[in-house]
Amino acid sequence: MDKVGARLRVLALLVLLMFAALTARLWFLQVLATNEFTSQARDNSVRFVRTDAIRGRILDANGDDIVVNQKSREIRVAMDELLASGRAEEVIYNLHLLLDRPVEEITRRLESNKYLPYQPKPIAEFVDPHVEAYIDEHPRDFPGVEVVHASVRKYPQGRTAAHILGTLGLINAEELESPRFRSYGINDLVGRGGLEQTYERWLRGEKGERKYIVNADGEVLRALGSLEPVPGNDVQLAIDLDVQRIAEEELRLGMDRARTLTDSDGFTLKASAGVVVVLDPSDGGVEAMVSVPSFDPRWNVEEPTKEQRKYLDNEQLSPQLNRATQGRFYPGSAFKVVSGLSAVKAGFATLDGYYPCTTEYVHPGDESGASFGNWKPSNSTISFGQALVESCDTWFYTFGSDFYFHWLNNQLAKDGELMQKLFREWGFGQQTGIDLPLEDVGLMANADWAEQHPDVFYRGVWQPGGNILSMIGSDYFQSTPLQLARAYMAIANRGHLCRPHLADQILSPDGEVVRRISGKCDKRLPGYTEQQLAYVHQALLGVTERGTAACAFGGFPLSQIPVGGKTGTAENGSKQDTSWFASIVGPVSDPDHVIVAMVEQGGFGSQTAAPIVRRIIERIYGLEPNPLGCLTTQED
Amino acid sequence: MDLVAGRVWAQERRPIRHLDPVLLVVSLLLIVVGMFLVYSATHQTLAADGFDPFDRVKKQAVTAAIGVVLVLVIATFDYRFFKVYAGFVYAATLLLLAILQIPGMASATGAYIDIPGAALLQISPAEFSKIGLLLVLSAMLSELRTPQPELRDVFRVCVLALTSIGLVFVNSEIGTVIVLVAITVGILVVAGTRAKHLAALTVAALVLIFLAFQTGLIEDYQADRITAFLDRANSPEDARYNLDQSLIAIGSGGLTGRGYLTGTQTNLDYVPEQHTDFIFTVVGEEFGFFGSLAVLVLFAVLLYRAIRIAYLSKDPFGTYVAAGVASMFAIQIFINVGMTVGIMPITGIPLPFLSYGGSAMLVNCVAVGLLLNVHMRRFK
């Protein structure tokens, strides 16, 4: 075997040579020439191209599209590149010719200070394909100009539900710096206002990413791994487009009709603004939410024209203000169900008790001569129910005085401000928690408020009038229409103060339910028995049958479709009265809807708001809508 | 008395007593190092594509575990048992190669047999053909009556080798062809083939290679890679790209490397096929010259043990098997590392134990099992 040993030694020698060669080569690469390779490694770089996810849709309760997506070619200009080229004027002129848009408009949008210095500014949307082709072919004529294929919003229902939707806007400097938008890039759109903002994180989806290797010259050498974008989830609303459209049409119709009527001073009613809210009392779902004046959400997809801008920015109209959640109004008599029940809970009144309804009311012990009047002459002793049916003001004043004395004697106690505490339990003076941003809390004046408003309360001291007038939703008490609707919902469902919600569920792109939005109806309003709430509901049925809304509901089949409601006519300083009607519709044991209508400067509740609600009910239930026209003289 | 006698018997007769621990430990070390390298080379890309970053490592671990069992199984039977069945093993590997030629049996790239119903299981027949050829040549040459192989023996060897090589070649696996040639030459040399026969074989091989290029049997991209290796400046970008990125990766590692999982060339996927053929670039970039040297030392120990086992074997079959395994590992290490550092042309040869790949891992384990087997039974 010695020969074998010799041959194996040859093999071993070969192997040794082999390792020597590899080691020598490695020494050269890794020790002698390493600097050159290190710098080459640095020149290699990877470019990340992010691909946008398709944003989720907004659907109505039946799955019909309210907000979907469409493609838009957008022109964006990187200012630093444009200015660095030293040819800004020439480029703007070229863009003017190419886009056929006025130079002023282009410069105005270039001067927008909404964006960070390095963030490309959008100057035109929905440009033609030939514009993109032209810019691509003439890069030297357009330094800093890029054409971005953006996915923008489309509103197949037009102006319907404009106030709740919100818009998309290019992320601004402030947002870019906030941690909430950490994963956003400088070219990203974000939801602004409305549902787009509330459900941003669901609608948005996840971006995809493509990696390319580029060499030192920036040429793409090849594509690396890519991550496909994940489309956003759809938001399905409790809003029923049919109900929404009915509410919108009837509110406008009712407001138009109001403008043919005159107020008690003989002036034509202005009917300057209005709201309708329709809630499902079983779970707090918002079936319709209308605010007038309105606007067209399509205006915001592109930059609005000058005329549109002027209209949108008109402070008197405030067309973009969602008055249902962002407007505060004196609820007037429509508030009496809450203030009366609060007096019952406080122990000042009972359901079998009879209390005076007089023409004038003077706070006990007040010798200043100040008196609070009823809206009509009266001198009787009536129950709570009757007080609601007749909408007697002075009946409620008595308990305002009681609340005042309670405060006077318990100023330092925790619940010294018992009236405000009880109102708060009904959701007033706080946000309802609806899934819309920037909700107003209304006004609930108290001793602190008085101190801050010495112009209203003499020397900043809380007065009996603060309690007395708050009892009828006037002077020192304001509510959003939604807050009032929510309180009526709690009466309708016998004590569940649900959270109103526009969205019902979040759906994945393939239609599976990702998340249900709950109204949190399981909690009960504390301290009210079902009997008490049923008593009020019965009283409200009396209002349409024989009370202040009897004329407005004349001929309505109340036995088939029970409607309980309360009118409200709220004085509003120098303006005309605010007209209210808040109602509970459907079977008494299990009502279908809570509908609240409000028309600013609309006159009496029975005159404008109640007929609007009547016609909405008629159309929802498929009845022949009653011609608007009970010329009621019922003031409240 | 009985007890003492029994112990002596055990020492002398029980093969497990003569296990080569160094070989076993080095093999296991290489397998473990390989998993770390595969993770480094794949985790970023896997994560970016939304997969489990450990996906490849897990698969490699499964095959490695099967491989270790295989080592033990192979080491258990007396290796002379394989001599008896060498012909069958060889025939079986040829059959597998032939199956690839049946339309519909091969995977998309043509190099694997997809096992129906087991998506993870792909068999690469070319890998297994190495073992088949190695065994059949060792068996044949160990049965010679003459002290040296005569011309007809060399001719028989060539027929056996060329059958395997031809079937592998039609699948365009040039790398495996080279390994098969190396196994054949290694065994022939150790078996004492005359120099003139070897010289004649060399000439014949050169003619064959020339013909292969001339007739277009070598595909363009393969030719491109070879020209890229020989003449970097004037070769197409694509062909140069792999080599350039590989050199940048290894060169930028420097003496001590950039640190595990921090190599930019590695993490950003610059080096193609990095977890398979270019796994050594991970070592070079992330562990530098010292790391590369450490890996080479592990391989050197592996080869040293293989050649030592060939020397210690008491019968020619064991010697030839061990020498064949040594040749197989040596050529793979040299060509694979050589191509990543630019001293060998780029051919698809995996680095033993380190490259990701199931079939190769199993074949390497079988080879180590054979070595252990020969070592354990060297006194019989």
Ramachandran angles phi, psi of B312, nearest 5°: -75, -25
A503-513: average pLDDT: 93
| A332: nearest Cα among A631, A607, A611, A605 | A605
Q: What is the DSSP letter of A92?
A: H
Last residue of a domain, one of A190, A222, A237: A237
pLDDT of residue A455: 92
d(CA B341, CA B356): 19
- By C-alpha distance, the chain A residue nearest B285 is A30
Q: At what angle do helices B280-312 and B358-376 cross, to 10 degrees?
A: 30
Q: Is the pLDDT of residue A197 over 60?
A: yes
pLDDT of residue B263: 78
Q: A365 with A442, same domain? A: yes
Q: Is residue A583 part of a domain?
A: yes
Residues A600-610 pLDDT 10s? 999 999 999 99
pLDDT band at A338 (very low <50, low <70, confident <90, very high): very high
| A127: nearest Cα among A100, A106, A107, A151 | A100
CA distances from A20 to A17, A534, B256 (A): 5, 98, 20
| A421: nearest Cα among A482, A491, A346 | A346
Of A40-49, A106-115, A208-217, A499-508, the poorest mean pLDDT is in: A208-217
CB B159 within 8 A of CB B201: no
From A11, A23, A224, residue closest to B186, measured CB to CB: A11
d(CA B60, CA B70): 15
Q: A345 with A412, same domain? A: yes
pLDDT of residue B49: 66
Angle ∠(A79,A82,A83) on CA atoms, nearest 5: 85
Q: Is residue A89 part of a domain?
A: no
Q: Chain B within 8 Å of A29 (Cβ-Cβ)?
A: yes
Q: Is residue A177 part of a domain?
A: yes
Taking the CA atoms of B58, B60, B64 and B67 in sequence, report the sign of the dihedral they define. positive
Instruction: Give the helix/strand (H/E) hosting B141.
Output: helix B125-142
For residue B88, the one-letter residue type is F
CB B342 within 8 A of CB A46: no
Q: Chain B within 8 Å of A118 (Cβ-Cβ)?
A: no
From B252, B289, B299, residue closest to A41, measured CB to CB: B252
Q: Is the pLDDT of residue A287 over 60?
A: yes
A73-93: average pLDDT: 86
Instruction: Give the helix/strand (H/E) hosting B371.
Output: helix B358-376
d(CA B349, CA B330): 12
Tokens 């309802």 identify what position? A432
Write out the two tokens for B82: 């394989």
| Residue-by-residue DSSP string for A438-506 | S----EE--HHHHHH-TTTTGGG---HHHHHHHTTT-SSEEB-HHHHHHHHHHHHTTSB-PPPBSEEEE
Q: A372 with A433, same domain? A: yes
From B247, B268, B338, residue closest to A37, measured CB to CB: B247
Q: CB under 8 Å to A367, separation ≥6 — which residues?
A: none
Q: Is residue B4 part of a domain?
A: no
pLDDT of residue B264: 74
Are residues B48 and A31, on separate chains, in Cβ contact within 8 Å? no
d(CA A254, CA A128): 43
Strands A45-51 and A208-214: antiparallel
Residues of A whose CB is below 8 A from B188: none
d(CA A636, CA A548): 7
Q: A470 with A348, same domain? A: yes
Q: Is residue A381 part of a domain?
A: yes
Q: A189 with A281, same domain? A: no
SS3 assignment, position A147: strand
pTM over 0.80: no
User: How distant is the Cα of B92 from the closest Cα of chain A, in angstroms?
Assistant: 29
d(CA A511, CA A499): 25
CB B125 within 8 A of CB B99: yes
Which site among B141, B144, B241, B268 would you substitute to test the A interface, given the most A Cβ atoms closer than 10 Å to its Cβ? B268
Tokens 């680095």 identify what position? B351
* H-state helical runs in A216-285: 241-258
Residues of A whose CB is below 8 A from B245: 44
Total count of domains within chain B: 1
Q: How many CB pairs under 8 A join A and B?
A: 134
Q: A476 with A570, same domain? A: no
Q: Chain B within 8 Å of A19 (Cβ-Cβ)?
A: yes
Are residues B270 and A44, on separate chains, in Cβ contact within 8 Å? yes
Q: Is residue A156 part of a domain?
A: yes
Are residues A213 and B49, on separate chains, in Cβ contact within 8 Å? no
Q: CB under 8 Å to B291, separation ≥6 — which residues?
A: B253, B256, B257, B283, B284
SS3 assignment, position A630: coil
SS3 assignment, position A119: coil
Q: Is residue B238 part of a domain?
A: yes
d(CA A311, CA A327): 19
Q: How far is the first Cα of chain B from the last one, in angstroms, to the nearest whole number? A: 24
CB A596 within 8 A of CB A582: yes
pLDDT of residue A397: 96
Q: Which domain holds residue A352?
A: 332-493
Q: Chain B within 8 Å of A34 (Cβ-Cβ)?
A: yes
Q: Is the pLDDT of residue A135 over 70?
A: yes
The number of residues making up chain B comes to 380
A163-172: average pLDDT: 89
CB A55 within 8 A of CB A151: yes
The number of residues making up chain A comes to 636
pLDDT of residue B357: 87
User: How distant is the Cα of A201 from the closest Cα of chain B, in angstroms?
Assistant: 20
Q: A486 with A472, same domain? A: yes
pLDDT of residue B270: 67
| A233: nearest Cα among A51, A52, A58 | A58
Q: CB under 8 Å to A634, separation ≥6 — which residues?
A: A548, A549, A550, A551, A567, A604, A606, A607
Q: Chain B within 8 Å of A126 (Cβ-Cβ)?
A: no
| A570: nearest Cα among A600, A590, A550, A595 | A600
| A340: nearest Cα among A357, A326, A327 | A357
Q: A404 with A543, same domain? A: no
Cβ-based neighbour number of residue A587 at 10 Å: 9
CB A127 within 8 A of CB A77: no
pLDDT of residue A48: 67
Q: A392 with A476, same domain? A: yes
| Residue-by-residue DSSP string for B198-261 | HHHHHHHHHHHHHHHHHTT-S-HHHHHHHHHHH-GGGS-HHHHHHHHHHHHHHHTTTTT-S-TT
Q: A245 with A233, same domain? A: no
pLDDT band at A49 (very low <50, low <70, confident <90, very high): low
Q: Is the pLDDT of residue A152 over 80?
A: yes
Total count of domains within chain A: 3
Cβ-based neighbour number of residue B264 at 10 Å: 17
CA atoms lying within 13 Å on the CB side of residue A260: 8
Q: How far is the first Cα of chain A from the last one, in angstroms, to the nearest whole number? A: 123
Q: Is residue B306 part of a domain?
A: yes
* H-state helical runs in A241-370: 241-258, 306-313, 323-326, 336-346
Q: Is residue A167 part of a domain?
A: yes
Q: Is residue A360 part of a domain?
A: yes
Are residues B333 and A227, on separate chains, in Cβ contact within 8 Å? no
d(CA B50, CA A206): 13
List residues bridging with A569 in a β-sheet.
Answer: A579
Q: A468 with A349, same domain? A: yes
Instruction: Give the helix/strand (H/E) hosting A213.
Output: strand A208-214
Q: What is the DSSP letter of A126?
A: S
For residue A419, the one-letter residue type is M
From A4, A30, A31, residue closest to B190, measured CB to CB: A4
Computed over its alpha carbons, how large is the radius of gyration of chain A? Answer: 34
Q: Is residue B63 part of a domain?
A: yes
Q: Is residue A133 part of a domain?
A: no
Tokens 């990187």 identify what position? A78
Residues of A whose CB is below 8 A from B342: 25, 29
Write out the two tokens for A54: 């398709």
Q: Is residue B17 part of a domain?
A: no
A96-101: average pLDDT: 89
Write out the two tokens for A144: 């800093």
pLDDT band at A589 (very low <50, low <70, confident <90, very high): very high
Are residues A46 and B186, on separate chains, in Cβ contact within 8 Å? no
A129-146: average pLDDT: 86
Q: Is the pLDDT of residue A633 over 60?
A: no
CATH number at residue A212: 3.90.1310.10
For residue A455, the one-letter residue type is D
Residues of B whose CB is below 8 A from A44: 245, 248, 264-265, 268, 270
Are residues A22 and B342, on separate chains, in Cβ contact within 8 Å? no
Q: Which domain holds residue B354?
A: 25-376
User: How distant is the Cα of A233 from the closest Cα of chain B, in angstroms?
Assistant: 19
| B333: nearest Cα among B285, B296, B287, B284 | B296
Last residue of a domain, one of A209, A237, A265: A237
Tokens 């009910």 identify what position? A617
Strands A503-507 and A379-382: unpaired
Residues of chain B scoring pLDDT < 70: 1-13, 48-50, 104-122, 172, 225-239, 267-270, 380
Residues of A whose CB is below 8 A from B262: none
Q: Is residue B341 part of a domain?
A: yes
CB A422 within 8 A of CB A346: yes
Q: A360 with A481, same domain? A: yes
| A243: nearest Cα among A292, A276, A283, A195 | A276
User: How distant is the Cα of A452 from the closest Cα of chain B, in angstroms?
Assistant: 59
Q: Is the pLDDT of residue A358 over 90?
A: yes
